[in-house]
Amino acid sequence: MAQSHTVEGPIAGADDKTISFESGKFAGQAGGAVTVRLDDTVVLVTATASKGVRDGIDFFPLTVDIEERMYAAGRIPGSFFRREGKASDNAVLTCRLIDRPIRPAFPDDFRNEVHVVGTVLGTDMNTPYDVLAINGASAALVVSDIPFAGPIGAVRIGWSTDGEWIPFPTYEEAEGCTFELVVAGRETSDGSDIAIMMVEAGGTEGANDRYVDGAPKVTEAVLASGLDAAKAWIRQSIELQLELLEKLGGAKPTMSYPAQIDYSDEIYAAVNELGADRLAASQTISDKTERQATEAALRDEIRGRSVGPVRRRARSRQADQVGRAFGDQGRRAQPHRERRCPHRRSWHRRAASHLRRGGPAAQGARLGPVPAW
């Protein structure tokens, strides 16, 4: 039977909370498996990668799943519905929270399928499991042989009505907060700082009523202080993951994998030489239909001139590389949105006026520049 190894430590600033990582007890056949615990909420996270690459794949097939089970809360399905239902909205959002910080930490030329699964083994109905799952996913990847530039730490902090940031707030503590941040990051190459990789922010329910009662407002300075404060708890999670890795005997040899490229340097240079100026000019066309038609015509022309007389399969592969190089060139050639779409500025004014009158904001609408913290 495999030996189980556990590391744990109290959360700084909240001595009544202890986070722990355990490996070697469950899912021995997975590439990496780690159990994360905070109070009585326990999440098992496994990470597994395929040994080969699907032919012709041009993206990184990372899949993240969260399995919520009723037995985690001490309940057994019965009566008419005797099976577990589909993934809840909270589970889907947790999958996205995990995906966003870990996806950029894989090598650019890595195309093997990777499956990260988080299973909620137990919950005290007072501690959210989503941030635990992020830390567990990082730890599972670190102890596996999958190429991963980790570890990554994550923390949720809440801005209380007393003007303090609370780490890993419980549901009860969150009710007394007006704002929450979920921050994930990893150490810089020299280990002197924490590079923030993902930020999720939002006000809590009833925050306006607390502001009316005199609670401190959340300003840009407060958010900046929150990001700085989160680094200490992120570093603590990273140190615990490294301690667990050391107890397990150190890092495993990285699995061998066939390196994949989107396009060669020669093809990118050829696309740049043949159509960079014309592509940049096409991005100034404000009409979307006309702009897309111009891009399609230019793409077909460059493909025809760049792909030489080679075998049919190689020709198709080379044409795909030209298309991807063209797409990257197009993204780099896009000028400022207000130059490309001169009517965007008036749209900003109309949307801002609409919000001042109390109208709802459209999802994804950006009404101004993001402040640089």
Q: Where are the domains of the chain?
A: 5-247, 265-340
For residue 333, the model assigns a pLDDT of 63
For residue 81, the model assigns a pLDDT of 67
For residue 335, the model assigns a pLDDT of 57
Strands 153-160 and 114-122: unpaired
C-alpha radius of gyration, the chain, whole number: 25
For residue 340, the model assigns a pLDDT of 44
Which residues does the chain have with pLDDT short of 50?
309-313, 336-373
Give the burial class of 203: count Cβ atoms within 10 A of its Cβ; 0-12 exposed, 13-18 middle, 19 or more buried: middle
For residue 272, the model assigns a pLDDT of 74
Q: How many whole angstroms separate alpha carbon 360 and alpha carbon 104?
A: 33
Assigned CATH for 265-340 = 1.10.10.400
pLDDT tens-digit series, residues 299-326: 777 777 655 544 444 556 666 777 777 6
Dihedral angle, C-alpha 237, 243, 244, 245, nearest 10 ° = 110
For residue 371, the model assigns a pLDDT of 41
Give me the architecture of the 5-247 domain, per CATH. Answer: 2-Layer Sandwich (3.30)
Give the burial class of 17: count Cβ atoms within 10 A of its Cβ; 0-12 exposed, 13-18 middle, 19 or more buried: middle
Enter the tokens of residue 211.
């502001």
Enter the tokens of residue 157.
């902090």
3-state secondary structure of 69: coil
CA angle centred on 315, ends 313 and 318, rounded to 5°: 110
DSSP element (H, E) containing 269? helix 265-282
* Angstrom distances, CA of residue 241 to CA of 65, 71, 229: 21, 28, 20
Contacting residues for 298 by C-beta, under 8 A, at least 6 apart:
275, 278, 279, 282, 326
User: Please, which residues bridge with residue 212 across strands?
Assistant: none
For residue 246, the model assigns a pLDDT of 92
